Structure 1
Amino acid sequence: MTTHIALNKLVIVGVGLIGGSFALALRKAGLAKHITGIGRSQANMQRAVELGVIDEIASDTAAALHNADLIFLAMPVGQTAATMERIAPYLHAHTLITDAGSTKQDVVTAARHYLPLQNRHHFVPGHPIAGAEHSGVQAAQADLYAHKHVILTPLPETGTEAVKRVQHLWQACGANVSQMPADEHDRVLAATSHLPHLLAFTLMNHLQHSTDSPENLLRFAGSG
């Protein structure tokens, strides 16, 4: 399987900002011929069709996953385990699977519990670090991932070709792709999420004890 073959069938589980933007980006790149959506809200799914984000609303899980080339899990990370349990019986042996969860160790744990080894060989956990002011499928945009970072955290049993394929798809979305182990990802992201609060605390502490004019400090804070 070469990395440049378009997906005949892309399945998005959770068609919101993240899943919808992935669908639009791959459609724009000419790498998704048919896109099927799976979601809880029928109104949201119908809106996704109207907006051209997906081509088809899944009637049931088995039908949705039939002949799927790639399954993109974009529902809230807390639903990952239940979703994997639900889709596992219908997975083809060579179907590519990736996700967008913001934490990875719990995703890996769920995969090892619910996905057979043959499917884990084609599972590439991922985390696109991107967002927008608004959420929902109506906020989805084809360029959401342009110049954004995507971190892939393959399992030891994940196949090299699967990683290459998912990396290529994210690069086709305009993203900068890197790799790291799941535990390292969670440590790094946890640390960086607290960094703005630490910097704000440090600045306020400095202002309280500094003889410099607060107006001057704030005036030049954004310069250069």
Structure 2
Amino acid sequence: MAPSVSNLKQPIAIRTEYTVSDPTSIRVKQHSLSLSGGEFTVSKWESDQSSGLEDSPDLLSVTGKVTSFHQRRHFRDPSGLPLFELSNKSLGSTRFVNLPGGGSGSEPIAIFAPRFDWHKDKFDLYVKNAVANGEETLLEVRGQDVYKLRTNVWANGALVMTIKRTDKYAPYIPLKRPEWQVDVGAGMDLSLAACIVVYMAETMYHPSMPSSHASAGQSDQGPLQEAALSEKGKTE
């Protein structure tokens, strides 16, 4: 049974207009046919969506060129206005989230840093929290199984988000694109949650090398945080 998410004591957001005041479920669906394709839509999760009824209106969409050197993905609101971009800056494994039009020299609003694990998703996400005057907030994203069916997201020791791929075999069936059900606690930014899922989708078949990026002092306390979270059921 999936664990319940907690409401955030302090909201975490890169786009404050997407912050939710109640626990919320969204659906992230991949539409591109290539394994590394960059087309996704994000909508509210409805309990009857599995029956084949019409989907909820899109909350945002994601586009990107498969062959792009920087693997740039553009996140847009329902009207088509840009929200932010996800890309890399070199051949390294670290990925960056930037506001649109900021250019290569702009300061990222979030940074994805993969951590070593042979089989499961494992990465840290450093967020420049827009509701805390840009203070850095760490989200720890940890896969729960080798099939990458379920992933948990932790903030300050609390489970604030869960990600579940709805079909175990979808990634391995030609022409069938996977989708994810994402549950977040109150105070979470849905656009940030969607960005996490898009990153996971793009690294599903191509695990990244560990990133050297870390916040100041993290190397001293990281193992202790990892042990404490494990005791709280982080790897259940």
TM-score by length of 2: 0.30
Which is strand-richer, 1 or 2? 2
- Between structure 1 and structure 2, the one with the greater Rg is 1
Q: Identify which of structures 1 and 2 has the higher relative contact order when contacts are C-alpha pairs closer than 8 Å and 6+ apart.
A: 2
Which is helix-richer, 1 or 2? 1
